[in-house]
Amino acid sequence: MARRTWLGIGASLRLGREERQGLVLSGGGSKASFQLGALAYLYEVVGIEPQVIVGTSAGSILGAMLAQSADREQQVAALRDLDALWLDMTQQSDMFTERTWFRRFRSRGQDLVQLLNRDTRSGWLSGGLHRIQLPFAKAAESPGSPDEPGSPAEAQEELTGQMETLAMATLDPTAEGPELTPSQVMAILAGLSRMRGMGNDLGVIMSGAEKTRSMYIPGPLLRALLGEGALFDSSRVTSSGMTVRIAMVSLESGELRFMREDGRLVDRDDVELPGEPHDFSRGVLASCSIPTVFTPVPMDGEHFVDGGVRENLPAEMAIGPLGCTTTYVVTSNAPGVRASGSFEDKDMFQIMLRSTEIQSDETERDEVAYAKLAGAVVIEPEFDVHEALVVDPGLIRINRDYGWIRAAEQHLGATVAEQALDRSIIAARRRIWELEKNHLDPAVPHDERELLLLARLKYDLRDQVPRLRPELLPEGADQWWQRWEAHPVAPQVDPPWLV
């Protein structure tokens, strides 16, 4: 959060500015289902009509779809299309598809871990090889190689606009042999005899990790958005009359950048930067490129990653430079981090990951605090229904309902008691989903106690819902207790608690 904004926040609230309504959407991966629920309430009940949309990561996908038209009814239609896309996902690969090398690594990962643990202790991996400056430590790069993401491969020469973006995002080069760099060969020669069982897998893993620099490619969700006859058209954003900013971060400069609706990049003060305009879809892809999850996106000689690296909730842009007088801010992320066990025996990597998690939470706390201090309407969860990389139809629906409820609470001024009851209902549905999942899994031994607990939670749900004002709950809430939560495979048996 920029210091100038905190010091100058009063200036952003001066009277006399032209009325301008803005919408800010955070990152959060698959947790954007929370935002979809909140947006449904804001559009259909509150009746928002944003002229400005600012988004990061998953929020940039939602924002881009909405920004194809300045007409409120068409934005509502786009929201329903997004909702259908999210509800159609049944597994992680629908949103995050494993790259070939990472899939191979996961299948052989335990073998590698055991090997590295054993050989690190014996010294062959820590015997000083890393100190040697090798003149051939980097493999020669071939211009135009299809193994380099974003390169002008021959197969992509005919593509333009968002089809080029789609091809770039879904390119998954596969190493069919042990295509290792000389430095990698030296690094494993001493332990080659120990790796014989890995065979061709080792080459695929090491070469793929080096070339793609990411574990996943975007799943079918992206093709549904960008492919032929898809729901999204970059040109409609450019011509809609909407003011749009999509956040991303340059790895080279380290700076926060935004793409405008016309495809040009601006800085955090909304000052236009040198360079040619890009297809708007390229900005959305860059904004969603979670480091190591997806490949960085090249533009203007730089490589861009997820805007959440610097600003996961870019309310500052909407309230400050873009001058929104009424701003609706929706974040998918609950404040705080889950408590962990002792770190007495944790390694450096685990400590680094935990510290990064804590730091990211603190940054978003500041962003939420700024938005609230500036007078924005902020809608946020009190707890996370699921994690950002989790895709499950039941959890997505529960989280969407939770977003609707939190928006209703904010708009209607729900009491502390009402909010506590809402929280209890959503937590109960989350636990019910888990118990149902176990009950429906033939590989899990049936536990009579869990079945009794499932029935009790369903009856509690039946009794809790009528205690709330009807306007605090989405349509169909009175039926939650009677039906199964959603699962990847629809249950073919009657609910046992109704028998």
Task: Assign 110 a pLDDT band (cuts: 50, 70, 90).
Answer: low
252 class by beta-carbon count within 10 Å (0-12 exposed, 13-18 middle, 19+ buried): exposed
What pLDDT is recorded for position 189? 41
Kindly report, residue by residue over 113-129, the tens digit of the pLDDT: 555 455 444 443 333 33
3-class DSSP state for residue 310? coil
Dihedral sign computed on CA atoms, order 371, 373, 378, 382: positive
Contact status, residue 312 vs residue 360, Cβ threshold 8 Å: yes
On the CB side of 62, how many CA atoms lie within 13 Å of its CA? 34
Average pLDDT over residues 166-193: 54
* Cα 197-200-203 angle, rounded to 5 deg: 115
C-alpha 379/C-alpha 275 separation (Å) is 36
- Catalytic residue IDs: 57, 306
Contact status, residue 302 vs residue 259, Cβ threshold 8 Å: no
Element (H, E) at 367: helix 348-373
What pLDDT is recorded for position 107? 73
Structure tokens at 53: 């949309």
For 342, residues 6+ apart whose C-beta sits below 8 A from its C-beta are none
* Cα 375-378-379 angle, rounded to 5 deg: 165
Q: How many residues does the chain have?
A: 499
Structure tokens at 374: 């500036």
What is the identity of the amino acid at 241? G
Average pLDDT over residues 486-490: 95
* Cα 364-370-376 angle, rounded to 5 deg: 110
Element (H, E) at 427: helix 416-440
Phi/psi at 150 (5° precision): 85, 0
Contact status, residue 202 vs residue 101, Cβ threshold 8 Å: no
C-alpha 353/C-alpha 326 separation (Å) is 37
- Which of these ranges, 267-276, 280-289, 347-356, has the smallest mean pLDDT? 347-356
Structure tokens at 113: 């871990």
3-class DSSP state for residue 376? coil
What is the identity of the amino acid at 4? R
3-class DSSP state for residue 493? coil
Residues facing residue 218 across a β-bridge: 96
Average pLDDT over residues 11-24: 75
C-alpha 64/C-alpha 69 separation (Å) is 10
Among 404, 436, 484, which Cα is nearest to 41's?
Answer: 404
Task: Give the burial string for 299-337 (b: 16+ CB within 10 Å, else e).
Answer: beebbbbbbbbbbbbbbbbbbbbbbbbebbbbbbbbeee
Q: Which residue has the higher pLDDT, 320 or 361?
A: 320
Average pLDDT over residues 43-61: 97
Kindly report, residue by residue over 188-239, the tens digit of the pLDDT: 444 444 555 566 666 677 777 777 778 888 888 888 888 877 889 999 999 9
What DSSP state is assigned to residue 109? H
Q: Which residue has the higher pLDDT, 472 or 8?
A: 472
What pLDDT is recorded for position 176? 47
Average pLDDT over residues 386-398: 94
What pLDDT is recorded for position 212? 77
Task: Assign 177 a pLDDT band (cuts: 50, 70, 90).
Answer: very low
Strands (E), 173-276: 216-218, 243-250, 256-260, 265-266
For 40, residues 6+ apart whose C-beta sits below 8 A from its C-beta are 79, 83, 400, 403, 404, 474
Kindly report, residue by residue over 72-89, the tens digit of the pLDDT: 999 999 999 999 999 999
